[in-house]
Amino acid sequence: MRVVLVPFPLQGHITPMLQLGSMLHSKGFSITIAHTDHNPPNPSNHPNFTFVNLPDQLGPNSNPTFHDLLPVILGINNYCREPLHKHLSEMIENQERDGGVVACVIHDPIMYFVDSVAKQLQIPSLILRTTSAAYLKTMRINVELHQEYKYTPLPESRLLEKVSNLEPLRFKDLPSPLHVRIPEFIIQLQRDLINKGSSVAFIWNTLDDLEGLILSELQEKDNIPFFSIGPFHKLVPKLSTTLIEEDKTCMEWLDKQSLKSVLYVSFGSLATLESKAVVEIARGLAQSEQPFLWVIRPGLIKGSKWIEDLPEGFQEEIGQRGLIVKWAPQRDVLSHFAIGAFWSHCGWNSIMESASQGVPLICKPCFSDQRVNAMFLTHVWKIGILLDDPLDRESIEKSIRRVMVDEEGKEIRENAMDFKQKVHASVQQGGDSNKCLNELTDFIASLVMAQKSNTNDG
């Protein structure tokens, strides 16, 4: 039985899709990855997968930031439709010769064109939700609220008010703002991203112990099976999914540090920061007197090639207490004994990787789902604290010391360790996530049986 996976070509979306492919391959499925020209995964890292290309016409030098993503999303969903239809048609035509029926297509919700292609070819489609369940609930309410404030935008004086049925979120925390006018085609795109379409199931990189109530609420409305099998990285052998070269020498530096003494700082693969903010981060790190490992990706600092905008004399001042790298092997870093906290942009993969190791977070959300994640981390799950704009060195220093060493942060550190134990139990044989993975395997197999039954009846 063959499963076709269609990821959206950004790091935070490719990683969970490849991890899911690895899980399903371990259960006996053949895996095909249908990927765009932009950010293709390296086939040599996944020798058991088959790869097919979806020309996206973005151009070889395309390197969008978050604020450039709209034309990328629209272009991919337009140009990749025909190539995917062609590949799937050929797979169906040759499935007897190749010895594997196409069981289903699993796609990222941003690749919403896949739903109509699969429906046309009568192939069951499933959606891999790469964000938290809290974010999907938020976006659905957010889109409804846009209708309410369509003609009269929300007054800015109400931005700090709580949103009904979305505790602990305030209006300012919503991913799609209500106090400015949003074009109708953007609202329609958001609907495409949050609706189930003709999908027969949702797969989640989360776990019931964290989001069980929200998952139940969403499933009741969607009325399709939900499979919460997170954290994905705990259910697969280690595999390389990174699109950026990792500097593994940082592990040697970590080996020399004390237990839980190091702050790991990384803002992901897409965020950008103003030079002024980076200066405040540097000063706050220096003043905290905590050892730190800081990932500064080329392109992170607006208008800068790399670290030339750091304060003069900063590296000499910190000496061996801090290390700056362009990219780090994050899973290895977060599982290292020296890591005591993670200052993160709060992308969902980073949260799963951090919390599953019992590492508390300092939350500096940048865009999209990240503010929702940060608010739930700090106010509901209570395994982190929010560091909001504008950044200043004093609040940074105070936040670092609170999470890592002060008595005030003891409860956060204990909650993080409790969550680590819940993750461990969930992914063990008989645990909730492990059982959900087996149920997903059986569900996909049942889709094949249903297809065969329909063919025989016809």
What is the SS3 assignment for 187?
helix
The per-residue pLDDT for range 124-171, each reduced to its tens digit, is: 999 999 999 999 999 999 999 998 888 889 999 999 999 999 999 999
CB burial string 18-39: b at 16+ within 10 A, e below: bbbbbbbbeeebbbbbbbbbbb
* Contact by Cβ (8 Å): 106, 88: no
Q: Report pLDDT for 458.
A: 53
390-406 pLDDT per residue, tens: 899 999 999 999 999 99
Task: Find the domain containing 326 and state its range.
Answer: 248-405
Calpha distance 392→283 (Å, rounded):
9
Please report whether residue 412 resides in a domain. no
Question: On the CB side of 290, how many CA atoms lie within 13 Å of its CA?
Answer: 31
**CATH number of the domain bearing residue 308:** 3.40.50.2000
DSSP states along 351-412: HHHHHTTT--EEE---STTHHHHHHHHHHTS-SEEE-PSSP-HHHHHHHHHHHHTSGGGHHH
The token pair that represents 176 in the structure block: 């799609």
Per-residue confidence (pLDDT) for residue 69, from 0 to 100: 84
- Coil/strand/helix, residue 8: coil
Same domain, 163 and 123: no
Predicted pLDDT of residue 304: 87
Residues 233 and 315 in one domain: no
Are 47 and 151 members of one domain?
no
Residues 6+ apart with CB under 8 A from 176: 139, 142, 143, 146, 182, 186, 187, 190
Q: Are residues 347 and 392 in the same domain?
A: yes
Q: Is residue 169 domain-shared with residue 290, that is, in the same domain?
A: no
Residue 457: the pLDDT is: 57
End-to-end CA distance of the chain: 21
Residues 170, 293, single domain; the answer is no
pLDDT at 63: 64
Is 41 within the bounds of a domain? yes
Residue 413 belongs to some domain of the structure: no
What is the sign, positive or negative, of the torsion defined by CA atoms of 178, 179, 185, 190? negative
In-domain check, residue 118? yes
Look at the chain and report how many structural domains it folds into: 3
Judgement on whether residues 109 and 228 belong to the same structural domain of the protein: yes
pLDDT of residue 85: 98
Task: Examine residue 421 and state whether it is found in any structural domain, yes or no.
Answer: no
pLDDT of residue 271: 87
Residue 182 shares a structural domain with residue 203:
no
- Rounded CA Rg of the chain: 22
The answer to the question of residue 314 being in a domain is: yes
- pLDDT at site 222: 97
Both 204 and 93 in one domain: the answer is yes
pLDDT tens-digit series, residues 1-52: 999 999 999 999 999 999 999 999 999 999 999 999 988 999 999 999 999 9
Global pTM value: 0.94
Same domain (yes/no): 392, 448:
no
Instruction: Tell me how crowded residue 286 is: count the other CB atoms within 10 A of its CB.
Output: 19
Are residue 232 and residue 267 in the same domain, yes or no?
Answer: no
Is there a domain that residue 216 lies in? yes
pLDDT for 78: 95
The pLDDT assigned to 60 comes to 55
At position 63, the amino acid (one-letter code) is N
Question: Comparing C-alpha atoms, which of 317, 304, 302, 289 is closest to residue 393?
Answer: 289
pLDDT of residue 62: 59
* Distance between CA atoms of residues 391 and 118, nearest Å: 46
Residue 453: per-residue pLDDT? 66
Domain assignment present for 411? no
Ordered mean pLDDT values, 10 residues apiece, the chain (458 residues): 96 95 96 94 93 86 68 93 97 79 96 97 97 97 92 92 95 93 90 94 96 97 97 88 90 97 94 92 95 95 89 92 96 97 96 96 94 97 92 96 94 97 96 97 93 63
- Does 201 lie in the same domain as 101? yes
